[in-house]
Amino acid sequence: MQAFLISTGVVALGEMGDKTQLLALLLAARFKRPWPIVAGILVATLANHAAAGWLGAGIAGWLGPQWLRWIIGLSFLAMAGWMMVPDKADDAPHAAGRFGVFGTTVLAFFLAEMGDKTQIATVALAARYSELAAVVAGTTLGMMLANVPAVLLGDKVARKVPMRLVHGVSALIFAVLGGLTLAGVGSLPGMPA
């Protein structure tokens, strides 16, 4: 349950102001059909985060526990710094509308998540926690918690949420996770808690 809850919270906060959230706003403004957009976000996120989680679990299996602790701890600290760099709408890919609302959303979100903060966080979380399904479910729920309101409420929400505060809280969470991991607190695959 810990892996699910931490994954959900980290990604939900990390997604605020992220390029994929901006992409959700753009798609909602362009197509004005929220439910195919929400479904597309879900499908793209499940596919992307399942692949990222599988990679993270594989990394955990290849590395020894000591190397894994350092790599994951430093990755979390790097993510803390990266959280303080806001994304811009220009970074989001421009998808063609010929695939329909759902297809355009799936394609655009899958591509936008490649190498994104939340995808890298999913890799690190899956390497950190041995419950792969809980991590993928949590990161997917976190994406949906951040993006569904963006689709349904559009720019009204974006104007009211202080992104700097959200990014600061996200950075703090990543920094704490990194520090705890480096200190050996919690469980890593192959190591006692």
pTM: 0.67
Measured over the CA atoms of residue 60, residue 135, residue 184 and residue 80, the dihedral's sign is positive
pLDDT tier, 89 (very low <50, low <70, confident <90, very high otherwise): very low
Q: What is the rounded CA–CA span in Å between residue 83 and residue 19?
A: 12
Residue that has been written with the tokens 């063609």 in this structure: 96
Rounded to an integer, the average pLDDT of 131-160 is: 85
Q: What is the rounded CA–CA span in Å between residue 164 and residue 172?
A: 12
CA distances from 31 to 22, 110, 140 (A): 14, 18, 23
Rounded to an integer, the average pLDDT of 146-150 is: 91
- Residues making up the chain, counted from first to last: 193
Whether pLDDT at 193 is above 60: no
Averaged pLDDT score across all residues of the chain: 78
DSSP 130: S
pLDDT tier, 64 (very low <50, low <70, confident <90, very high otherwise): low
